[in-house]
Amino acid sequence: MRSEATEGRLVTLMFGQELTSPKADRRKVPDKGALPLLELRGVETRPTGTEMRLKGIDLQVYPGEIVGVAGVSGNGQRELGDVVLGMIPCVRGEKILFGEDITRAPVGVVRRRGVGFVPEDPLSMAVVPFMTVLENLVLTRTGHYARAGGLKMDWRAVHSDAQDAMNRFGFSFSLYVPARTLSGGNLQRMIIVRELAYGSRLIVASYLTRGLDVRSTIAARQALLRARDEGAGVLLISEDLEELFALSDRLIVLYDGRIVGTFRPEETDIYTVGHLMTGSEVPHA
Amino acid sequence: MSLLAILGVISSAIFSGTSLLYTTLGEVITERSGIVNLGLEGVMLVSASSGFAVTYLTGNPYLGVLTAMLVGGLMNMILGYLVVTRGGNQLASGLALMFFGFGLSALIGKPYVGAKIQGLPRILLPGLEHLPRLYTSLFQFDILIYLAIPTAFLVWWLLYRTRWGLGLRAVGESADTAFASGRNPWRLRYQALFVGGLLAGLGAAHLSIAYAMNWTEYMTGGRGFIAVALVIFSKWHPLRAIVGALLFSGAVAFQLLLQAGGFKVSPFLLDTIPYFLTLLVLMIWGGTRRYTAPASLGRVYHGTE
Amino acid sequence: MPETKIIPSRLAGFWRKFLDGVVRYTLMIMLALVLFGVILLVSGRDPLHSYRDMLVHTLGSTYGFSEVLVAMTPMLLTALAVALPSRLILINVGVEGQLYMGACFATWAALTFPHLPAHLLLPLMAFVGMLGGALWAFIPGYLKARGIVNETITTLLLNSVAPKIVSFFIFGFWHSPMDTDKTANFVPAARLPTVFGTRIDLSLFIGLALLVVFWWFVKYTRWGLEMRAIGGNPQAARRNGIPVSAYLVIGMCVGGAIAGLAGMAQVSGYYGLLLANFSRGIGYMGFLISWLSFGDPLGILIMSFVVAVIFTGGNLLQLTQGLPFAAINLLLALTLFVVLARPQFSGFVRRKTA
């Protein structure tokens, strides 16, 4: 009896339909001749408090690929995402986005160039809890919906764009309630709509599916793959090795603020990556 | 710029700085427990007026001083009720208390405007008896002046060498932690406010009973706010407050000195120097991120639910 | 289940809350009046007589009512000066100092250009007044935006400096031949025009207009939206690309400018000259009004009106009951105390049991 209970069968029974977690069978080899969307060269940060210091980060993200960043929480994941965005200053090294230097650029500039950002704890890091969902959806692109030089906001357009996006992704959540009343899953869906649905060319996603139920997890992964298929580049930061192996085109391991390994997922396995994540030596076979 | 002039400046600074020092010491205690008292101006005014009234009515300045102290403590209790028990915003409650003090002090003091009292007796600094009259008149201090610096040390001892002070400072840093370790933040804050009020009343008493020896509306002239600035300047430490008080009150006296020396600088501009200094000091610390304010200063403690 | 309703259910929740608020605030004011009445009794005066006098002469006569509006105007403006930055969670206690600096700059303009016609001089005075206030608010704003010092402390310090600077100018350069603590009267061109033969001047209407602008700004404009986001979660706002630092500095400066305008209105409209230490807490009262109304424009309007009634009535008590004018601060303070203590008068407007 026990051998019949596969994960897929259980999910089907729970949700009454077949839900397959997206796998990497649609993976593509990125065209290395193309210009990287994002390039970090020797990037270092200086922490103010309990943060981890990033040292000598070199990485590239090409169009149409998902670069997975594996690491145990506390080894620089949050700092990596934040330094790409410009939330924390880069004291050494360079950041190049879509071919232009953004090493000193403020967050607003980076955002307006077309960078989406899914933070690891959206409610505290990227959402204004008392404002409505619709208002929150607008916050990254207020200029786009401003009319009369900023004197009015075109809420009708916001609404219809949001509705379109929700339909495309197959999401459904209420738009006119305070954001803090959304469930964890719906909040993540809202963030995914905001960051992935409006043509972001580079997406940084941190712990995309942490704490989500199965259905939301699948929806989130599908959205990410769709964005990738449309040509976006994705930096996927996660602790979930299964997710990283399933979705990444390339895999990077972050430990103690440094990149300690770069692989293609088919060249390695969970155990090697796991060892690198904890800083221990890779055992020889 | 003779020696006499310089000594005159020092004497003047000591006279006017004493009331400031007492009040500042009181506010140090209060803020160490986490409460900012923007109403000090009002507290001082009510204490000054009631102390003056009692002195006039009884002819006994010591009674007046005691009254002023008690009244100060009671005024602070109002702030305690609003902030600690009712959870009101500290800044707003303090300012409301200030207006309350404006009104109450005017009411109490009205019959005594222009009255004259026999203030605290002034005693010559021991050891200077053989100096010429001109000099000795500069150094005849009342008992409150003599007690000022010892009081600063007393406050230091209270804060750093007693269990009560330790608990108080713990509440000021983190009321939650203090509560978890068995202390009662509400009671400690009330106590801090009361002691702070006693000291503020003492400062006010010196002003109306010993120094100016009269009563006029708004006679504290901003000392309540100066005390708040001084607390920051002294980094919430009682001993540094001594220096601060001399500095702040010395500015006016310093102006006289400059005038005597032929420099005419406006006393008003000189008065601003201590504030700019405080601002400068704040900017320097802020830059190195070593802000030593009590961590829970200004926040309302709601208790653990 | 029987539902006890005083308000029929078809009245929306808004009206229920409105009535509940009215009842609560009325009770609070009455409590304050009772407390003040006790104080009046103790000091040998008749409270009922006093209150009746106050009401009759403030709200009962057109002139009294106009005096209320005159008293209300500066507090309305200073409350606005606090309310705008408060949307960014900026605590602008510095309105008192910004008020003085605005008055100072405006006085400079009035004394330097006495020959200009009113339609040039007044806007100039308003402009430099706002400039003065904005400059005074810029330093705290900048220090806050850079994360160096908290604006509460810096503004408090600067509050103490501003009146001294004003005194410096008055006693040093600007004083009239007869008095050292104030300037000579401004030329008529430097005075804000009054209306209807009362002392109400243009600044009241400017204040009301600004109130409406403030309401529209926060609710409908793009910048109001971004400001609310900053106030709600500054980290999130920053992560979404909103330039938080710029808003902090500009927010403080605009608040300072409004306070500076209030200062200009005081010297140009109310006094007609610059008097040393002319403000007995107008700025602080504005702070309290804004704070206690949570920065809501309607609340600010109502509260500043109520406070103005009390102030104006107090003026009268000085004449009829021999009360020192400052004593009216007592009634004000008691009202504030009651509001701050948030007494739980349980809902007299009962709700549907859900």
SS3 label, residue A284: coil
Question: C206: closest CA among C197, C196, C195?
Answer: C195
**Is B103 in Cβ contact with C168 (below 8 Å)?**
no
Written as six digits, the tokens of B200 are 């503020």
When CB atoms are compared, the residue of B225, B278, B283 closest to C143 is: B283
Q: What are the tens digits of pLDDT across the range B138-173?
A: 788 888 999 999 999 999 999 999 999 999 999 888
To the nearest whole number, what is the mean pLDDT of chain B?
A: 85
Q: What are the tens digits of pLDDT across the range A161-207?
A: 999 999 888 888 899 999 999 988 889 889 989 998 888 899 999 98
Average pLDDT over residues A24-47: 73
Neighbours of C127 (CB within 10 A): 17
For tokens 């980060």, what's the residue?
A57
Q: Among the listed ranges B258-267, C73-82, C100-109, C273-282, which one has the minimum average pLDDT value?
A: B258-267
Q: What are the tens digits of pLDDT across the range A243-254?
A: 898 889 999 998
Burial C87-125 (b: 16+ CB within 10 A, else e): bbebbbbbbbbbbbbbbbbbbbbbbeeeebeeeebbebb
C32 torsion bin: left (phi>0), alpha (psi -120 to 50), beta (else) = alpha
Average pLDDT over residues B26-35: 94
Amino acid symbol at B86: R
Average pLDDT over residues C79-104: 95
Which of residues B198 and B132 earns the better pLDDT score? B198
Which of residues C312 and B64 earns the better pLDDT score? B64
SS3 label, residue B289: coil
Nearest chain A residue to C231 by CA: give it: A128
**What is the reported pLDDT for B290?**
41
Chain C residue numbers with beta carbons less than 8 Å from the beta carbon of B222 are 160
Give yes or no for residue C135 having a pLDDT over 60.
yes
Chain C residue numbers with beta carbons less than 8 Å from the beta carbon of B104 are 327, 330
Chain C residue numbers with beta carbons less than 8 Å from the beta carbon of B105 are 326
Neighbours of C259 (CB within 10 A): 38
Give yes or no for residue C346 having a pLDDT over 60.
no
Give yes or no for residue A27 having a pLDDT over 60.
no
pTM to 2 decimals? 0.85
Residues in chain A: 285
**What is the reported pLDDT for B100?**
94
Q: How far off is chain C from B66, nearest CA to CA, in Å?
A: 23
To the nearest whole number, what is the mean pLDDT of chain A?
A: 84
Average pLDDT over residues A6-18: 61
Tell me whether C240 touches chain A (CB under 8 Å): yes
Q: How far off is chain C from B223, nearest CA to CA, in Å?
A: 10
Question: C248: closest CA among C132, C114, C151?
Answer: C151
Which of residues C188 and A18 earns the better pLDDT score? C188
Chain C residue numbers with beta carbons less than 8 Å from the beta carbon of A108 are 241-243
Residues 187-226 of B with CB under 8 A from C: 217-218, 222, 225-226
**What is the reported pLDDT for C5?**
43
Which of residues B112 and B294 earns the better pLDDT score? B112
Average pLDDT over residues C82-107: 95
**What is the reported pLDDT for B283?**
82
Q: What angle, rounded to 10 degrees, do the helices at C62-86 and C95-112 form?
A: 110
Give yes or no for residue C215 having a pLDDT over 70.
yes
| A239 — pLDDT class (breaks 50, 70, 90) | confident
The β-bridge relationship of strands A38-45 and A90-97 is antiparallel
Residues 221-250 of A with CB under 8 A from C: none
When CB atoms are compared, the residue of C323, C329, C337 closest to B82 is: C337
Reported ipTM: the value is 0.85
Give yes or no for residue C195 having a pLDDT over 90.
no
**What is the reported pLDDT for A31?**
57
Q: What are the tens digits of pLDDT across the range B95-107?
A: 999 999 999 999 8
CB C345, CB C23: distance < 8 Å: yes
CB C274, CB C107: distance < 8 Å: yes
SS3 label, residue A54: coil
Written as six digits, the tokens of A252 are 């990077």
Give yes or no for residue C3 having a pLDDT over 50.
no
pLDDT-above-70 percentage for chain C: 93
Amino acid symbol at C189: A
Tell me whether A190 touches chain C (CB under 8 Å): no
Written as six digits, the tokens of C10 are 């078809």
Residue C11 CA: distances (Å) to CA of A120, C5, C24, C147: 43, 11, 19, 47
Neighbours of B196 (CB within 10 A): 30
Chain C residue numbers with beta carbons less than 8 Å from the beta carbon of A85 are 239
Give yes or no for residue A11 having a pLDDT over 70.
no
**What is the reported pLDDT for B305?**
31
Average pLDDT over residues C21-47: 81
**Is B266 in Cβ contact with C326 (below 8 Å)?**
no
Average pLDDT over residues C277-295: 90
Residue A58 CA: distances (Å) to CA of A42, A61, C284: 5, 11, 54
- The secondary structure element, H or E, covering residue C126 is helix C118-145
Q: Choosing among B99, B223, B292, which should be mutated to test the C contact, i.e. which has the most C CBs within 10 A?
A: B99
The partner residues of A204 in beta bridges, in order of sequence, read: A117, A235
Q: What are the tens digits of pLDDT across the range B9-30?
A: 788 888 889 999 999 999 999 9
Tell me whether C243 touches chain A (CB under 8 Å): yes
Average pLDDT over residues C58-72: 87
- The secondary structure element, H or E, covering residue B169 is helix B163-173
CB C203, CB C209: distance < 8 Å: no
Chain C residue numbers with beta carbons less than 8 Å from the beta carbon of A145 are 222
To the nearest whole number, what is the mean pLDDT of chain C?
A: 87
DSSP calls for C133-181: HHHHHHHHHHHHHTTSS-HHHHHHHHHHHHHHHHHHHIIIIIB-SS-SS
Nearest chain C residue to A109 by CA: give it: C241
Give yes or no for residue A139 having a pLDDT over 90.
yes
- The secondary structure element, H or E, covering residue A60 is strand A57-61
Q: What are the tens digits of pLDDT across the range B51-69?
A: 999 999 999 999 999 999 9
Give the highest mean pLDDT range of A105-114, B74-83, C48-57, C64-73: B74-83
Give yes or no for residue B126 having a pLDDT over 60.
yes
Question: C268: closest CA among C105, C27, C39, C95?
Answer: C105
Q: What is the DSSP letter of A42?
A: E
Q: How far off is chain A from C102, nearest CA to CA, in Å?
A: 28
**Rounded Cα distance, B115 and B233, in Å:** 36
CB C183, CB C170: distance < 8 Å: yes
Chain A residue numbers with beta carbons less than 8 Å from the beta carbon of C223 are 150
**Rounded Cα distance, C331 and C34, in Å:** 10
SS3 label, residue B104: helix
| C7 — pLDDT class (breaks 50, 70, 90) | very low
| A71 — pLDDT class (breaks 50, 70, 90) | confident
Q: How far off is chain A from C221, nearest CA to CA, in Å?
A: 4
Give yes or no for residue A130 having a pLDDT over 70.
yes
Give yes or no for residue A232 having a pLDDT over 80.
yes
- First-to-last C-alpha distance (Å) of chain C: 10
Q: What is the DSSP letter of C194?
A: B
When CB atoms are compared, the residue of B92, B272, B298 closest to C292 is: B92
Give yes or no for residue C234 having a pLDDT over 90.
yes
Residues in chain C: 354
When CB atoms are compared, the residue of A108, A112, A152 closest to C221 is: A152
Tell me whether A146 touches chain C (CB under 8 Å): yes
**Rounded Cα distance, C121 and A165, in Å:** 56
Q: What is the DSSP letter of A115?
A: E
Give yes or no for residue A104 having a pLDDT over 80.
yes
Neighbours of C32 (CB within 10 A): 21
- The secondary structure element, H or E, covering residue A254 is strand A250-255
Average pLDDT over residues A12-32: 55
When CB atoms are compared, the residue of B99, B104, B278 closest to C157 is: B278
When CB atoms are compared, the residue of C164, C327, C342 closest to B103 is: C327
Torsion of the alpha carbons at C199, C203, C208 and C211, rounded to the nearest 10: -140
When CB atoms are compared, the residue of B78, B99, B272 closest to C161 is: B272
| B256 — pLDDT class (breaks 50, 70, 90) | low
Give yes or no for residue A128 having a pLDDT over 50.
yes
